[in-house]
Amino acid sequence: MVAPGRGILAADESTGTIKKRFDKIGIDNVEANRQAYRDMLFNTPDFEKYTSGVILFEETLFQKSLSGVPFPELLASKGVIPGIKVDQGAKPLFGGGAEETITEGLDGLRERLQKYKAAGARFAKWRAVIVIGDGTPSDYAIHTNAHALARYAALCQEADIVPIVEPEVLMDADNSIEICESVTDRTLEAVFHELYLQKVLLEGIVLKPNMVVSGAKCPTQAGVQEVAERTLKILKRRVPIAVPGIAFLSGGQSDQLATAHLDAMNKIGGFTWGLTFSYGRALQAAALKAWGGSNVEAGKAAHLHRAKMNGLASLGKWDK
């Protein structure tokens, strides 16, 4: 999953989230369009050179390509590992601060994992959301989300499925980079504490964190080198070297910046984990626009380009 020069394509948008993406290009959110779009992504020639795995939404795991091959089988035939998003979304956290959420989906997860494994999934993803705001995040939100992440990870390991552990500190507020740094620090401390308490084997997880950045609405934006240095500082403090890989989310960063930040960290080096991407928007935005519902070749070309740039960045060899 974190092989050198490769990273993960997050194509696991729920039906509600893909609607927001399709709305922007005027495409109806019907199953046939979702199938055609993902068929374009997964049939991009050579994307497997830069892509170790794809995170699927449940519908896609059980769907066939346009030529009738089950999507997990198609991906596996290219040497790309199929994975599955297993959380059931972030819901309001009763007693938490404004906008705070708890990610749900633990009930029945053991049985669902068996079903997903039989369909070809070899890894899973669970996303916890940590909100920065006035007085937030609360310790309560951090700890309940860390607890659920660890419970999910333990169930995955029981089922012989690799858990991607994703505690996402949102990047869209007006906070400074210093605030993002301290919240990411608190969050990762809590997550690794819970993983330890719940006996999760660190050698068998992939961490999917946010980068330490200035909030999107902050008037002063930290530069690429500062983002890379602050992110590495916190990861080195909180992520044991037993963890084999870290694959970042893009979280609303522009395509270019998501690539530049990853590249800068790999150029700095000095860590043992594989450090790569698990991007959704930063890998798909250009492809979605170029595809526009019908232009399959343009969509594939745009997808391949971003996959290749991020593959280079995962080696610290990207050159704008």
Q: Give the binding site for ligand 13P (CB under 6 A).
A: 10, 127, 166, 249-251, 279-282
Q: How far is the CB of 280 from ligand 13P (least distance, A)?
A: 3
Catalytically annotated residue among 13, 100, 194, 208: 208
CB-nearest residue to ligand 13P: 280
Nearer to ligand 13P, 81 or 249 (CB): 249
Q: Report how far Cα 64 is from the mean position of its chain's Cα atoms.
A: 23
**Can you read off the two tokens belonging to residue 61?**
């795991």
Least distance in angstroms from the C-beta of 199 to ligand 13P: 25
At residue 3, what is the residue type? A
**Of the candidates 259, 55, 250, the residue with the CA atom closest to the CA atom of residue 170:** 250
Q: Look up 166 and say whether it is catalytic.
A: yes
How many angstroms separate the CA atoms of 10 and 304, rounded? 14
How far is Cα 172 from Cα 158, in angstroms, rounded to an integer?
Answer: 35
- Nearer to ligand 13P by C-beta: 56 or 190? 56
Q: Which is nearer to ligand 13P, 23 or 297 (CB)?
A: 23
Residue 271: CB minimum distance to ligand 13P, A: 21
Nearest alpha-carbon partner for 183 in 240, 139, 148: 139
Residue 12 or residue 197: which is nearer to ligand 13P going by CB? 12
208 is catalytic: yes
Q: How far is the C-alpha of 12 from the C-alpha of 53, rounded, in Å?
A: 12
Beta carbon of residue 9, minimum distance to ligand 13P (angstroms, whole number): 9
List 100, 166, 168, 181, catalytic entry: 166
Cα end-to-end distance, the chain, whole Å = 25
Q: Cβ(30)–Cβ(75) under 8 Å?
A: no
Please identify every residue annotated as catalytic.
166, 208
